[in-house]
A = this chain, B = another copy of it.
Amino acid sequence: MSSSTSNFFAATLAAAVALVVSSQAGAQSAPLSAQESDPNVMGWMQGFPPPADKIITQPDSVYFSFPRLRWSVCHLREFLPTEEISRGLSAPVPLTYPSASEFAELRAEIDAVTFMPQNSDAEMTWEQSLYANYTDGMLILHKGEVVYERYFGCLEEDGKHAIMSMTKSFTGLMAEIMVVEGLLDDTALVRDIIPEIGDSAFATATVRQVMDMTTGVQYSEDYSDPNADIWLYSNAASPLPKPEGYVGPNGYWEYLQQVMPEGNHGDAFHYKTINSDMLGWIISRVSGQSVTDVVSDRLWRRMGVEQDAYQTVDAKGVPFAGGGITAGLRDLGRLGQLMLNEGELNGQRLFPTEVVAKISAGGDRSKFGDGFPTFGAGSYTSQWWVLHNAHGAYAARGVHGQTIYVDPTAEMVLVRLSSFPKAQIGFIDPTSLPAYQAVAEHLMATRP
């Protein structure tokens, strides 16, 4: 395992650079399969106490390395300080299900759907793709009704799962709502909103450039260099007391104050998590609330969710706006449905239609570059990934394969929670994106 996948912070902070799978896969020994690495099969944390070799404990180089991470993605709060994203005190609004017999039939049909993975000439079934991608939970809503729901590994219907970089899409959605409502000026410079950003490269970026990750900021990810930015950020982010003699920044926001420039703002999309944390700071400064409270007030208390969510924090209590959220599968489905409905859920309008219209329209494709070949010629805007495919699909994406995938043409919302061994989404897309498209087409054909 490279160190990139054995540290919770670094894994989320990483660019998840897509690699050409064919040239890389052969060079590495195959990890345990999804079935072999199932936490229940591995026996992690079973017994009181568990056997010494089955205890998962600090530091994150242990608890967040494969195969242990397959247990830890459902238990992040047991390792890290966290802040609640409260659902409030009201009753959940249940999701809509077909009859039990129809539901079973739908599942069998969907499991049998076939598709052709990228760079492959061997057909795969939907069900095979779940295991290929180390799926922990899969939920599909079609026309507002649950048509598929399965749990694997560490996840159960009343459990929660780390969504990692999908967190960025929460942060971006909050910012876009504030922009559309006139609370946040996306043409403003960061330094005009946060003067103490000082000489940081972020100072002269616009809010929109931060939202779309087109800032020109230096952020190196050379894991072999102990002074690479990713390690400095990871150290700054850790909520644990700093080691004796530590002189670096303490917390996300101190880190952001010392970011160096690289290239020009606005030139190109560069997937760098520090933008999301910069955006979190902007949201908090403008709203006067932590991002956890903003998400609670704007979404979680109004969506009829079943479970509180939570978000990891740094040593100063600042939530990790670029990757810290853990939530339940169905509640993420509710968020996807809210997006599909362009801001309405359970008969209530939560934000203007324009918010989703702007996100789903996508960003400037000419700036997207070729860093994510498995994703295709898409774009990234307001911290959402836009496919620019025939169905107009867009997605929130996490580095171990997590997603909320919204397909407006098929009226389909799909949520996957997963714990793929590598923090490299380029290995995950080839058996994911074609599968989502195939299921969308299947649902359109069979439930017109």
Question: How far is A59 from B239 in the complex, measured between Cα atoms in Å?
Answer: 10
State in angstroms the CA–CA spacing of A394 and B56 once bound together. 40
Contact B55 A288 (CB under 8 A): no
Contact of A89 with B58 at beta-carbon distance under 8 Å, contacts A48-B285, A240-B240 already known: no
Are A81 and B89 in contact, CB atoms less than 8 angstroms apart? no
Question: What 1/0 flags go to A267-282 for Cβ under 8 Å of B?
Answer: 0000000000000010
* Complex-state Cα separation, A78 to B319, whole angstroms: 10
- Known A58-B241, A77-B81, A241-B58; judge A89-B306 contact (CB<8 A): yes
A77 touches B86 (CB 8 A): no
A290 contacts across to B, CB distance below 8 A: 48
**Interface bits A58-84 vs B (CB < 8 Å: 1, else 0):** 110000000000000001011111111
Cα-based distance from A84 to B90 in the complex (angstroms): 19
- Write the A33-63 contact mask toward B (1 if CB under 8 angstroms, else 0): 0000000000001001100000111110000
How long is the Cα–Cα vector from A111 to B81 in the complex, in angstroms? 38
Q: Is A316 an interface residue (CB 8 A)?
A: yes
- B89 touching A82 by the CB < 8 A rule? no
Q: What residues of chain B lie closer than 8 Å to A84, measured between beta carbons?
A: 77
Q: Mark A303-321, 1 if CB is under 8 A from B, else 0.
A: 0001110100101111000
Residue from B55, B59, B307 in contact with A316 in the complex, judged by beta carbons closer than 8 Å: B55
Partner of A89, one of B92, B284, B288: B92
Is the CB of A91 closer than 8 A to any CB of chain B? yes
Is A157 in contact with chain B by the CB < 8 A criterion? yes
Given contacts A83-B78, A308-B308, contact A316 B49 (CB under 8 A): yes
| Chain B residues whose C-beta falls within 8 Å of the C-beta of A284 in the assembled complex | 48
B-facing residues in A203-249 (Cβ within 8 Å): 239-241
Contact A49 B253 (CB under 8 A): yes
With a CB–CB cut-off of 8 A, which chain B residues contact A79? 81
Q: Are A89 and B307 in contact (CB under 8 A)?
A: yes
- Judging by beta carbons under 8 Å apart, are B78 and A158 in contact? no
B78 near A82: Cβ-Cβ < 8 Å:
yes
A88 at the interface (CB under 8 A from B): yes
Contact of A59 among B45, B59, B241, B306 (CB under 8 A): B241
Q: Across the interface, which residues of B come within 8 angstroms of A316, CB to CB? A: 49, 55, 57
- The answer to whether B86 touches A158 (Cβ under 8 A) is yes
> Are A281 and B48 interface neighbours, CB within 8 A?
yes
Interface centre among A82, A284, A313 (most CB of B within 10 A): A82
Q: Kindly provide the distance from the CB of A201 to the nearest chain B CB, expressed in whole angstroms.
A: 20
Q: In chain B, what residue has the closest Cβ to A59?
A: B241
Counting chain B CB atoms within 10 Å of each CB, the highest count among A77, A90, A251 belongs to A77
- Chain B residues positioned under 8 Å from A307 (CB to CB): 89, 308
How far is the CB of A71 from the nearest CB of chain B, in Å? Answer: 10
A157 touches B281 (CB 8 A): no
Taking CB atoms, residues of chain B closer than 8 Å to A56 are 317
Whether A81 contacts B80 in the complex (CB less than 8 A), given A48-B290, A58-B239, comes out as yes
Please measure, in the bound complex, the distance between the C-alpha atom of A307 and the C-alpha atom of B251, giving whole angstroms.
30
Instruction: Kindly provide the distance from the CB of A276 to the nearest chain B CB, expressed in whole angstroms.
Output: 16
Contact check, A315 vs B57: say whether CB atoms are below 8 A apart.
yes
Contacts of A241 in B (CB 8 A): 58-59, 240
A318 cross-chain contacts in B, Cβ below 8 A: 49
A78: chain B residues within 8 A (beta carbon): 81-83, 313, 317
> What CA separation (Å) do A88 and B59 show in the bound complex?
30
A278 to B232, CA, bound (A): 41
Interface of A toward B, CB cutoff 8 Å: 45, 48-49, 55-59, 75, 77-84, 86, 88-92, 157-158, 239-241, 251, 253, 281, 284-285, 288, 290, 306-308, 310, 313, 315-318
Q: Rank and list the top 10 A-B pairs by shortest CB-CB distance, nearest first.
A: A91-B91, A48-B284, A89-B306, A58-B241, A48-B285, A78-B81, A78-B317, A89-B158, A79-B81, A78-B83
Q: Given contact pairs A57-B316, A81-B81, enumerate 19 new A-B contacts (beta carbons under 8 Å).
A: A45-B317, A48-B288, A49-B251, A49-B316, A55-B316, A55-B317, A56-B317, A57-B315, A77-B82, A77-B310, A78-B82, A78-B313, A79-B81, A86-B158, A89-B92, A89-B158, A89-B307, A90-B92, A240-B241
